[in-house]
Chain A
Amino acid sequence: MAETVVAPPLRVIPIIPELKPDAMKDVRSFVANEKIQTAIGFPGQLVDDWHDRAIGKMGELLEKYRSLKVYMDACVHCGACSDKCHYFIGTQDPKNMPVARQDLMRSVYRRYFTVAGKLFPKLVGARDLTRDVLDEWYTYFNQCSECRRCSVFCPYGIDTAEVTMAAREILDTVGYGQKYTNEIIGKVHSIGNNLGLPGPALIDTLQGLEEDVKEDTGVDVRFPIDVQGAEVLLITPSADFFAEPHIDSLIGYAKVFHAAGISWTLSSKASEAGNFGLFIGNYDQLRKIALRIREAALELGVKRIIVGECGHAWRVAYSFWNTLTGIGAGAEDPFALQLQRQLDGRYRQPTHICEFTWDLIERDALRFDKSANDQYVVTFHDSCNVARGSRMGDLMGGQFEIPRNIIRAVANHFVEMPENTIREKTFCCGGGGGLLTDDLIDLRVKGALPRMEALQEVAQTHGVNFMATICAICKAQFSKVLPYYNFDRRVVGGVHQLVSNAILLGPKQ
């Protein structure tokens, strides 16, 4: 399959592409089988009364989520969002326009939940939930990476990600789940991380890393795991343990902890920062996966929780952990207080690894040899969940400044990509939101188009040869799709990879 996929040509002038109806109608992510579905409590296959159950679930979600309720009503079909989705730009399929994607559900909402749609379906674009419609939902709600770029531009803040999550929740409820995401959720429960890496293998890997770093630097940098009473619990995506280029950032974190002299530990129980419960919009799963981290923190008695380079994990950690698990501050209930009393209130809980490193840099606690990164002209790709779903530091927009500040502190050459492709307007890598699977490679390659165009521009004008990012999915996705656009796959890497290259570990002279 991968052989037949070709990247769309880069646009010379970024004009809004023409519509190609149904261009992506046959690109369907693999459906979850019975075993995958039942392992996480969903029906094994499409249930007989799927129609009634789907409508029932939709009604329930409309009562539970103000976002969905308001967004179903408020859209005026102005079209401001219509050219903002990377999947639309890359595929030209009109159903990948954010508003059209929402309309897949809105049309059904109107038919079953509004007076106008019950009386005059044709007039207001309402339609029955037929099997075709359900299939269409499956196809196109699995072509949205829940990146929220559309929500930045909508005059009412309508967030298609919320609609996609609701749709996937409904699909799961009737037994029509997606293989990739649901299988991974199963793994996180049964093994502890998304990659299915068992504890002993993890311990081996970490030992190997200690040896590698010793060989490289001559310094005993530790990669501790399950250390009772450590100051810091590091929660990082499992890809950091052995995928390239992720592992170089893990080495970077370890060096920073070493240089700062702060005791830290990983946890074999919570060896995964990622939380794919977010992608399927299922509150129970989101919470259950997040609770592993709470449990690990309580068991190990740590004072701080720090999160590694992972985009959606940071959104979940920053925005939802306090709600779901009590990791945060300001609670009054015993459940949350139990943990909040243990955590050190002088620090932000949770802390992003970039916040941690930048704090140390600001306090002059780290030393660097910036020339170690002189072979690179660096740019920074804002990952969507960090950019549009979280923050760092105390100021609005800290999630943009802090990683850039770190890069400037450790490398001499940094340039920005075009303004409409960075910060809150950043384009998704094309593989987020549960789409990082080989069965969607066609979509992933096409969805990367806007980012590749931006990268191409700075590669040409400034010789950019390193695109730093702080997301495990971005790293994996770009490593895979960069070659389709004639870039070397090693052009992408982590911010802490650059930190790792430049940090000086010996005693202060």
Chain B
Amino acid sequence: MAGTLMALLFYLAVLVFAGGLLYRIAGYARTPAPLKIPTTPAPTTRSGVVLRMAREVLLFESLFKANLWIWGFGILFHFGLALVLARHLRYFTEPVWGWVDLVQPFGIYAGFAMALGLAGLWARRLFVQRIRYISTPSDHLMLVLLLAIALSGLSMKFIDHPDVVAVKRFFEGWLQLSFQPFPDSALLVLHLSCVALLLLIFPFSKLLHAPGVFFSPTRNQVDNPREHRHLSSWAAARYEGEGPRG
């Protein structure tokens, strides 16, 4: 019964997550950027922009310039999360991919890094006057949710091991639309419910910063307005037919 519920919840969550995200991304992609507005100095070539974006996404370049505390906690959290996610691939693959095995030993440190980063970010939200001022309840709750995921995950490693073989059986079954028994563990229920909730709210929340950054015109445009005429579809249509002198 618990297994069926959890499986259904995850189907729903993944559906909403993927569908919602695709919908939002399609919206960003469809909306034109009518003017050239890269924040300069900006790369003058496409490949330069790819590099800029890579530095932005992998190293948080702009954030580094802005504030070392936020950058540090942000890096801890995001890189921790990336490693932890990689580590979790073992629950969905058989045989487990080689590189997943390779990162396995780091996964545990990554879990702590993630929690530490989140705690740091939350502390700033609570104690730095400027950041407290701009925080909404949802900003706090988002951190609570992520911390709950991280801490419940870590607790299962260090305090109360669920039957990982059963977990894997459950998710392999889930992938093939077959309902398998769910291991009896309150921590696991908490952990997975929070993950499902996170997936559910992803397309409706500020977590959209993840796809958003790739569509940010100040970061993804090539600085070449004098060499190439950049015209949006709506502007072209709006002024069509006006004489060559406007």
Residues on A facing B (Cβ under 8 Å): 16, 18-19, 62-67, 69-71, 73-84, 94, 97, 99-100, 103, 114-116, 120, 122-125, 148, 151-159, 162, 283, 287-288, 291, 294-295, 298, 318-320, 322-323, 325-326, 328-336, 338, 348-350, 387-391, 394-397, 399-400, 424-425
Contact = CB atoms under 8 A, between A and B. Distances in A.
A350 B225 CA distance: 10
A156 B213 contact: yes
B229 A396 contact: no
B44 A322 contact: no
A116 B230 contact: no
Interface in B7-52: 24, 27-28, 31-37, 39-44, 48
B215 to A, nearest CB: 5
Given A73-B24, A328-B227, A396-B41, A157 B62 contact: yes
B222 to A, nearest CB: 11
A157 B214 CA distance: 10
Interface stretch (B99-107, B134-142, B158-166, B169-177): B134-142
Contacts of A294: 245-246
Interface string B174-197: 000000000000000000000000
B208 A125 contact: no
B136 A319 contact: no
A75 B229 contact: no
Interface string B130-161: 11011111110100000000000000000000
Given A123-B137, A155-B56, A319 B37 contact: yes
Contacts of A338: 244
Nearest to A387: B40
Interface string B52-74: 00001000101101110010001
A123 B43 CA distance: 40
A390 B225 CA distance: 9
Q: Which 9 residue pairs across A and B have the least CB separation, nearest first? A: A74-B212, A125-B136, A153-B66, A157-B218, A80-B66, A79-B131, A157-B219, A291-B246, A331-B229
B137 A322 contact: no
Contacts of B5: none
Contact of A115 (B204, B206, B219, B244): B204
B109 interface: no
The CB with the most chain B CB atoms within 10 A, among A97, A100, A157, A388, is that of A157
A77 B206 contact: yes
A502 to B, nearest CB: 28
B209 interface: yes
B35 A319 contact: yes
B33 A319 contact: no
Contacts of B139: 76-77
B36 A396 contact: no
Given A82-B134, A156-B219, A319 B225 contact: yes
B218 A67 contact: yes
Contacts, number: 240
B96 interface: no
B61 to A, nearest CB: 8
A157 B135 contact: no
Interface stretch (B80-88, B111-119, B231-239): B231-239
Interface residues of B, number: 68
B42 A396 contact: yes
B12 to A, nearest CB: 16
Contacts of B244: 334-335, 338
B130 A79 contact: yes
A159 B223 contact: no
B230 A63 contact: no
Contact of A295 (B42, B218, B246): B246
B134 A319 contact: no
A43 B44 CA distance: 41
A125 B138 contact: yes
Contacts of B219: 156-157
A508 to B, nearest CB: 33
The CB with the most chain A CB atoms within 10 A, among B67, B134, B139, B215, is that of B134
A392 B29 CA distance: 30
Contacts of B223: 391, 396
Nearest to A334: B244
A62 B129 CA distance: 32
Given A66-B215, A70-B216, A155 B62 contact: yes
Contacts of B34: 64-65, 283, 323
Nearest to B128: A79
Given A156-B212, A387-B40, A388-B40, A19 B33 contact: no
A256 B244 CA distance: 33
Given A75-B206, A325-B246, 8 more contacts: A124-B136, A125-B136, A148-B218, A157-B213, A162-B37, A322-B230, A323-B225, A399-B40
B134 A322 contact: no
Contact of A16 (B42, B130, B134): B130
B206 A64 contact: no
B229 A153 contact: no
Contact of B226 (A75, A283, A318, A388): A318
A302 to B, nearest CB: 15
21 contacts: A67-B37, A78-B63, A82-B134, A94-B133, A97-B130, A114-B204, A123-B137, A125-B138, A148-B218, A157-B219, A283-B235, A287-B246, A319-B36, A322-B225, A323-B35, A323-B235, A350-B226, A389-B39, A391-B44, A397-B40, A424-B39
